[in-house]
Amino acid sequence: MTVTPLLEAVELSRAYGACVANERVSLALRAGRIHALVGENGAGKSTLCRMLFGLVRPDAGRILVDGRAVTLRSPRDAMAAGLGMVHQHFMLVDELTVAQNVVLGREPRRGGRMDLARAEAETAELAARFGLAVDPRAPVGGLAVGVQQRVEILKALHGGARVLLLDEPTAVLTAQEVDALLAVLRRLRDEGRAILVVTHKLPEVMAVSDEVTVLRQGRVVGRLDTAATSAVALSELMVGRHVDLSRRPRTTTPAEERLRVEDLVVRGPDGRARVNGVSLSVRAGEVVGIAGVEGNGQAELVEGLCGARSPASGRVVLCGQDVSRASVRRRRDAGLCHVPEDRLAQGLVPAMAVADNAVLGVHHRAPASRGGVLRRAGIAAAAQALVRAYDVRPADPALPVAALSGGNQQKVLVGRELSAGPRVVILAQPTRGVDVGAMERIHAAILAARDAGLAILLVSAELTELLALSDVIHVLYRGRIVHTVDAAAATVESLGPPMLGAGVAA
Amino acid sequence: MGELLAVLAGALRISTPYTLAALGGALSERSGVVNIALEAGLLMGALAHAVVAHASGSPWLGLLAAMAAGVAVMALHAALCLHARANHIIVAVGLNLLAVGTGRFALKALYNSAANGPRVDGFETTWWHAVQELPVAGTVAGTPLVLVAILLVPAVAFLVDRTVLGLRIRAVGQHPAAAETQGVNVLRVRWAALLLCGLLCGLGGAYLAADQHQFTQGMSAGRGFIAVSAVVFGQWRPARVWVGCLLFGLLESLQISLQSSSVGIPGQLVQMLPYAMTLVVLALAASRANAPRALGQPWPAGR
Ligand SMILES: Nc1ncnc2c1ncn2[C@@H]1O[C@H](COP(=O)(O)OP(=O)(O)OP(=O)(O)O)[C@@H](O)[C@H]1O
Ligand SMILES: [Mg+2]
């Protein structure tokens, strides 16, 4: 323990207006150690990482590299000091290739021009060394999320970083991809790098880290050795109370059928059928789960159901009404609500206030408007109610959504959709990037909605979430339902093989 | 046959200022800065060329002055958009108006004229006359700048696609935050793109003044805007942008030859052709689908 840390934060503070994101936060990263940083949404984890990487200037405090104080004015300074970072939201230029993204800012040159061949060779070499399979020439925009995450890691490693900061690198990954990533992290640790990893998934913390720092409301509330703690203890430290995410038995029985899907075929932008003959039914008071490895048609299924993409064939019947060709608005008016997977791109308008986001989609009805004119009082009241019910922090409806942490943005979105008075709700990844406390709250809201008689279709990459909430689980593989089980009888292990296509004729 | 060649040669000549300005516009916009101030760049380039060429007697010094003037216009554009975070469109409108005013003022102050300046020599030198003696090439090439513009098309394409600066220009135009997190100085790259744009506009302006052998009030005559539409038409890719410029040049050239052959179509109608075409092209081909994603957005984001 006498070894000088590679990177040390000493009493760093940073405020955004009245919101104190970090208050005297100290943390030391040592060579050959994986340090986990956990905390609720908005606890200040990203802010800390961003300060350490020169993206945000601290108001007070010092940053030490190899024991020497440094001033990081930009990521360039941070990289020169041997740091690399993987950001919470992808920082990739879709139009460029993998290799171009990886070398951007440190491009190999030959004469005056860029040496693309060497960039590709360097990328391939780095990828091979860490077992991160990518094609250096592929345009990044067309890659699956899991592959994009590998590119992010390659970017961070390309400068020869000795310290890696990873902000929620596993949030968008499937279980298999997470395992692969954790293996890479262990390898990097064993090579003597210092690693900081932010995550909401406590089992990952337990599996991979050597020590843990817990943040709450910008302050360090715990600094523990992983070996001496447990996931339960950590979640209580984070949230300040006991958290229960276990499966809760239903008290009501499902009633009439609300959503019926018959032989649905939905094509992707390239014309290929991404959903290929899916039939399912959701009754009032029931949660139907859709499991599957990302990219097996979940996104297109959701788009086809909510009207964002019109199906090539098949029928969508909503409360007895055929809405296969209906617009999004008509479906919404018929009682269909939807929490899209990408909250910032599809669900919310980041630059608009929480209050305005809270009434999007019901803005054309009372109490948000009358006769086409918005009513501020009605909007404010609706927003207040939502902020209170879902414990959105900071509790200020006038803030733009972009200023909220990811988990709080998600609360606004889920809250809005569930309170729009729907009869059927489609939830896509409703707890992505959400802390355990908020997850518990969102899960409770989903179950309350179920008990109130809503029909719920839940698409999630988290098997534990599906198992805790669903009544029935369908496994989607290459656009087809290949497996259907009663959720009470299923386990994470039993869902794995069908998700990977086991037992399906090719 | 001879007539066809004349129309084509005319197209090439007419498209030269479009090409120069549009290549500059493409560079600027690929870096994320909306640029409808190409008109100002052309006009100031033309003015600087005429004034300096007249005063010094050397068209080549005029050319240097024109490039400097174009760079000055785009430096102003950069300062206002990148540092004062002003809206790109509004800045450009201001620059275009400023250019018109400056042209008028300079004519009055230097030559006491409301319409045009004194005669200046073109770039035609002895060796160029030799080129013009060549059968086809001579008719087509016109003046050295026509050739320079053509050579600049692959040069700019190379810059964008194959150089480090080009990669960074593309990156900051698409996703400046990603570029920044990799240590790229977003504002510096945008400055570079805008200064190059100014250089190209200045060349275009010099061509105009040298071609007419004088500076006349408002002589850019909307060419900068045609160049803007060529940028959109060409989806921000140099080769395609050039095709757009050639197309506009061809239409104008056709119009001239139609007018002189007087086939019974009213002249005014024929003169409208390139402009009407601009509208049609913009309406049809100008989907902003391939526009750089961060086009027009201030950096850093937020207040
Ligand atoms: N640019 C900003 N402007 C205003 N407030 C901000 C800004 N960035 C962060 N904040 C605020 O600072 C606090 C900490 O945010 P931060 O993003 O660090 O949280 P986090 O722990 O990473 O949360 P999450 O788990 O949701 O990603 C939050 O209350 C957030 O609203
Ligand atoms: Mg965060």
* SS3 per-residue string spanning A378-411: HHHHHHHHHHHHCCCCCCCCCCEHHHCCHHHHHH
Ligand 1 center–CA A76 separation, angstroms: 23
Ligand 1 center–CA A46 separation, angstroms: 7
Beta carbons of B202 and B68 less than 8 angstroms apart: yes
- State the smallest CA–CA distance between residue A314 and chain B in angstroms: 30
CB of residue A437 inside a 6 A radius of ligand 1: no
Rounded CA Rg of chain B: 19
Q: What is the total count of domains within chain A?
A: 3
Instruction: Output the DSSP codes for A205-255.
Output: HHHH-SEEEEEETTEEEEEEEGGG--HHHHHHHHHSS----S----SS---
Tens of pLDDT, residue by residue over B264-297, are 677 777 777 777 877 777 677 656 567 899 999 8
Dihedral sign for Cα B192, B193, B198, B204, please: positive
Q: Is residue A342 part of a domain?
A: no
Structural domain boundaries enclosing A92? 7-239
Ligand (nearest to CA of A401): 1
Q: Is residue A465 part of a domain?
A: yes
Q: What is the pLDDT of residue A2?
A: 63
Q: Is residue A141 part of a domain?
A: yes
Same domain, A50 and A74: yes
Boundary residue ending a domain (A239, A266, A282): A239
Interface test with B, best of A104, A109, A155, A167 (most B CBs within 10 A): A104
Same domain, A72 and A165: yes
Same domain, A68 and A123: yes
Same domain, A298 and A210: no
How far is residue B84's CA from residue B76's CA, in Å, rounded to a whole number? 11
Query: CB A55 to CB B174 under 8 A?
Result: no
CB of residue A296 inside a 6 A radius of ligand 1: no
CB of residue A39 inside a 6 A radius of ligand 1: yes
In chain B, residues with a C-beta closer than 8 Å to the C-beta of A91 are 175, 177-178, 181-182
Same domain, A254 and A386: no
Give the three-class secondary structure for A281.
strand
In a structure prediction context, what are the per-residue pLDDT tens digits for chain A, which is 506 residues long?
A: 568 999 999 999 999 988 899 999 999 999 999 999 999 888 999 999 999 999 999 999 999 999 999 999 999 999 999 999 999 889 999 999 999 999 999 999 998 789 999 999 999 999 999 888 899 999 998 888 888 999 999 999 998 899 999 999 998 887 788 898 999 999 999 999 999 999 989 999 999 999 999 999 999 999 999 999 999 899 899 888 888 777 777 777 888 999 999 999 999 877 888 999 999 999 999 999 999 887 889 989 999 999 888 899 999 999 999 998 888 888 988 899 999 887 777 888 988 999 998 888 778 777 888 888 888 888 888 899 999 988 888 888 899 998 888 788 888 999 999 887 789 999 999 998 788 888 888 899 899 999 989 999 999 988 889 999 999 999 999 999 999 999 888 888 888 888 888 766 54
Dihedral sign for Cα A368, A373, A377, A379, please: positive
The DSSP bridge pattern shows strands A455-459 and A286-291 to be: parallel
CB of residue A403 inside a 6 A radius of ligand 1: yes
Beta carbons of A318 and A336 less than 8 angstroms apart: yes
Residue B185 DSSP one-character state: -
Same domain, A409 and A474: no
- Amino acid making up residue A241: R
Q: Is residue A377 part of a domain?
A: yes
- Nearest chain A residue to B183 by CA distance is A76
Beta carbons of B42 and B95 less than 8 angstroms apart: no
Same domain, A317 and A352: no
H or E segment and range at residue A198: strand A194-198
The closest residue, in CA terms, to atom 22 on ligand 1 is A46
Ligand (nearest to CA of A43): 1
Q: What is the pLDDT of residue B138?
A: 64
Cα angle A88, A463, A85 (rounded to 5 degrees) comes to: 15
Same domain, A18 and A87: yes
Q: Is B187 on the interface with A (CB under 8 A)?
A: no
CATH of the domain at A320: 3.40.50.300
Beta carbons of A208 and A231 less than 8 angstroms apart: no
Beta carbons of A404 and A42 less than 8 angstroms apart: yes
Q: How far is CA A305 from CA A229, A403, A453, A481, B56, in A?
A: 44, 31, 20, 16, 73
- State the smallest CA–CA distance between residue A107 and chain B in angstroms: 7
Q: How far is CA B26 from CA A59, B19, B226, in A?
A: 40, 10, 13
The residue ranges of chain B whose pLDDT is under 50 are 303
Same domain, A379 and A463: no
Beta carbons of A421 and A27 less than 8 angstroms apart: no
Provide the chain B residues 157-176 that lie in CB contact (below 8 A) with chain A: 158, 162-164, 166-168, 170-171, 174-175
Q: Is residue A45 part of a domain?
A: yes
Q: What is the pLDDT of residue A11?
A: 97
Same domain, A35 and A170: yes
Same domain, A101 and A16: yes
How far is residue A113's CA from residue B79's CA, in Å, rounded to a whole number? 28
Q: What is the pLDDT of residue A479?
A: 92
Beta carbons of A472 and A288 less than 8 angstroms apart: yes
Residue A353 DSSP one-character state: B
Q: Give me the residue label for tokens 């945008």.
A: B190
Helix %, strand %, coil % of chain A (to 5): 35, 25, 40
Interface test with B, best of A52, A74, A83, A93 (most B CBs within 10 A): A93
Query: CB B183 to CB A95 under 8 A?
Result: no
Percent of all residues in chain A with a pLDDT value above 70, rounded to a whole number: 99
Boundary residue ending a domain (A207, A239, A271): A239
Omega prior to A203 cis, within 30 of 0: no
Boundary residue ending a domain (A401, A419, A437): A419
Q: Is B156 on the interface with A (CB under 8 A)?
A: no
Q: What is the pLDDT of residue A504?
A: 64
How far is residue B86's CA from residue B80's CA, in Å, rounded to a whole number? 6
Q: How far is CA A176 from CA A81, A88, A342, A459, A462, in A?
A: 33, 20, 21, 18, 11
* Residue of A405, A434, A441, A442 with the most ligand 1 atoms within 8 Å of its CB, for mutation: A405
CB of residue A58 inside a 6 A radius of ligand 1: no
Same domain, A309 and A217: no
Structure tokens given for B179: 């570029």
Q: Is B185 on the interface with A (CB under 8 A)?
A: yes
CB of residue A84 inside a 6 A radius of ligand 1: no
In chain B, residues with a C-beta closer than 8 Å to the C-beta of A93 are 170-171, 174-175, 178-179
Tens of pLDDT, residue by residue over A151-165, are 999 999 998 899 999
In chain A, residues with a C-beta closer than 8 Å to the C-beta of B181 are 53, 55, 75, 85, 87, 91
Q: Give me the residue label for tokens 């004519």.
A: B107
Which residues does A458 contact at the CB level (< 8 Å), separation at least 6? Answer: A287, A288, A289, A290, A427, A430, A446, A465, A466, A469, A470
Ligand (nearest to CA of A412): 1
β-strand partners of A225? A211
Q: Is residue A340 part of a domain?
A: no
Structure tokens given for A316: 């969508």
Which residues does A23 contact at the CB level (< 8 Å), separation at least 6? Answer: A13, A218, A219
Q: Is residue A76 part of a domain?
A: yes
Q: Is residue A343 part of a domain?
A: no
